[in-house]
Amino acid sequence: MTERNSLAQEVGAAVRDHGITAAITALIGGTIALLAAVSRRAFTNDAMLARLDRELLAERDRVDRQRAEDRKGDADRLERIETDIRAMRDLMFEAFQRGRTD
């Protein structure tokens, strides 16, 4: 059977077997791996923020277009109402004028 050693025991054995050079190399390698993980995470967060910014801009554009369509519909409806009011006013004025001359 193979005997399992703890990490500290394995590091101690590596230093004994290969010297301080191996320990320094492992330290440098670990530091580089840590820097790579941190920078990858930072770039991933930047990419996610850029994607969210694009999605937010697209949503704002959609909402603005919807509001513009709603405003146009409201303006058209208001124009029809004003036209109906003018027609009714003219009709009443005409009826009143006709009633006064008779």
Residue 82 pLDDT grade (very low, low, confident, very high; cuts 50, 70, 90): very high
pLDDT at 35: 83
pLDDT in tens, 28-53: 877 888 888 888 777 777 778 888 99
Phi then psi dihedrals of residue 70, to 5 deg: -65, -45
pTM of full prediction above 0.75: no
- The C-alpha atoms of residue 41 and residue 44 are separated, in whole angstroms, by 5
